[in-house]
Amino acid sequence: MSIPETAYELAAVVREQGVRAVDATRQCLDRIVALDGELHCFLHVCGEYAIARATEIDRAVDAGHDPGRLTGVPIAIKDNICTTSSPTTCGSKMLAGFVSGYDAHVVECLEREGAIVLGKTNLDEFSMGSSAENSAFGPTCNPWDTSRVPGGSSGGSAAAVAARMVYAALGSDTGGSIRQPAAYCGVVGVKPSYGRVSRRGLVSYGSSLDQVGPITRNVRDAALFLQVIAGNDDRDATCDRRAVPDYINNLTCEVSSLRIGVCQELLGDGLDSQVREAVRHATSQFVDAGATMVSVTLPHAKYATACYYLIATAEASSNLARFTGVHYGNRSANSETIEELHENARGELLGNEVKRRILLGTYALSSGYYDQYYRKAAKVRTLITQDFEKAFENADVVITPVAPTTAFPIGDKVNDPLAMYLSDVYTISANLAGVCAASIPCGFDTSGLPIGLQLTAPAYCEQSLLAIAQTYESHTDHHLQTPPLIGTS
C-alpha cells in the first residue's frame, strides 16, 4: 500500500498495519534531506529520535495496541514551542543551543496520541515578523517560488507542510503568524480562540494575544490536530475549561442556513486585485451552494494595526526582559560588570526587529505615555471586539482576505518595517478580539502563487469554523495542488 497524503488517512492505515510508521517517517526525512538545503524550513532535525519513536509505535501496533489518533504521523514544531528532543531557540542567538527541561503541553498532547516529531521549524526571531526573514539563522524560502517569502512568523512550519516534508506542523499566532504563512504557502492554518489551547511551553511574545494552532494540508487534518491539542490545562491560568466539541465528526453544515458575512470596507484600497477577485469568487461559491451573503461592518478595523503594535510590543517588552544572559539567554564574552552583561547580551544577541519592538513597547509603557498610548490602545481593542460581536449577530462567519498580496520577494520589505507590518492588516483583529479564524486556499495569482481566504467565527466556535471551511474545501481542489518543487525531490 502506498503511503497516504493526509494525516487522517495515514494514522488510520498505520493502526491497521497497512503502512509502517517507520516508512512514513523515513519518507519525510528523505524529503527534508532533498529539499531543506534550498528551503531552510528546519532549524533542528531529530532524525534518530523520530525513527526510534516510529519503531516504538510500530511495535505497539504489532502488539495489538492503539497508540492514538495520530499514530505514526510525522510532524514539526515551531521553534518557539518547548521540546526536550531538540533545542528551542526562537530563531535567536540569545537562545542558541538552549534545550528545555520539559515539553510544552501541546507537544505532550501530540506525542500521547502517537505523533512523531521530526524537528523544529524556522521562524522570525521570537515570532516578531511577517516573512520568516528575521531569523538569526537565515530566512526560509517559499516552496512555490524560492525567491519569495513563506510568510511569518511561522514560515518554516507552513513551508514544511507545503513541501510535504511533514504532514502537519504547529505554529503560533499573535497577529496572523499562522494564517498569513498558511495563505502564502497554500495550506490550511487555524488560529484557535484565545484560551482554547494551552500556552504552557510556548515562549511568550504577547501574552494576551498568543495562541498555538495547527498548519495542515487540508481542513480535516486541521480538525484532527486541533481536537488533540485543545482543552483545559491546569498549568495555564488563561486556558478555558469548557469542553472541547467533536470537531472531526461534525465537519458538515447546513449550507442553506449559512450566513456569510462580507465586510466591503476591507476589500478596498491596498488590496491586490487578484486577491480581491479570489475572495469575491469564494464568496460567490458559498452563495451558489445555497448560503446567504450578508453585509457586515467592522468600523474600527482600520485602527487594528496601530492598536496591535502598541499592545503586542508592550507585552513583548515585559516578556523579553528575562533574556539578560543571567537566568535566561546566552552571555556576551566581553562583560566585566552586571550592567555590561545585560547591555552586551541584549545588544549583541537580539536582532534589530526584536530590539525595535522592545523599544516601542517600553516607550508605550513609560511614565507620561502609558495613558496616551497603551491605555488608549486597550480601549480601541474593546471597540474592535464589540465590532465582531455585532457582526456575528447577523453572520455565522466573516470572510476577508488573509493578506493584501500574495507572497512578496525576499528582501522586498525587510528595510521597511511599516510596509512589513501592513502584511498582517487583515489578521490582527482576530487576535485583539480573541475570536477564532482560519486561512484556507482559495486560488492562485497569475504567477502561480497561492491565495488564502480568511474565515473568522465567534470565540469558541471552532466547530462551526472548521465545518464551514470544510464545506468550501469540498467544492474546490486548491488544497490538492503542490509546489513545482515537489516534483524535483
Q: How much is the mean pLDDT over the chain?
A: 96
Q: Which domains does the chain have, with CATH numbers?
A: 7-253+461-488 (3.90.1300.10)
pTM (two decimals): 0.97
Contact 75, 46 (CB under 8 A): no
Residue 25: predicted pLDDT: 98
Give the DSSP letter of residue 373.
I
Q: Does the annotation mark 78 as catalytic?
A: yes
Q: Which of 92, 177, 317, 464 is catalytic?
A: 177
Nearest CA among 135, 149, 134 for reference residue 91: 135
pLDDT, tens digit (0-9, with 9 covering 90-100), for 401-445 = 999 999 999 999 999 998 999 999 999 999 999 999 999 999 999
Residue 30 CB contacts under 8 Å (≥ 6 apart), including other chains: none
Once rounded to an integer, what is the mean pLDDT over residues 25-37?
98
User: How far is residue 116 CA from its own chain's centroid?
Assistant: 19
Contact 11, 73 (CB under 8 A): yes
Q: Which of 78, 93, 191, 413 is catalytic?
A: 78
Q: Which of 127, 153, 157, 464 is catalytic?
A: 153
Residue 488: predicted pLDDT: 56
Once rounded to an integer, what is the mean pLDDT over residues 168-181?
98
Q: Does the annotation mark 153 as catalytic?
A: yes
Q: Does the annotation mark 147 as catalytic?
A: no
CA atoms within 13 A on the CB side of 139: 21
pLDDT, tens digit (0-9, with 9 covering 90-100), for 93-111 = 999 999 999 999 999 999 9
Once rounded to an integer, what is the mean pLDDT over residues 380-400?
98
Nearest CA among 231, 246, 245 for reference residue 196: 231
Taking the C-alpha atoms of residue 446 and residue 410, their distance in angstroms, rounded to an integer, is 19
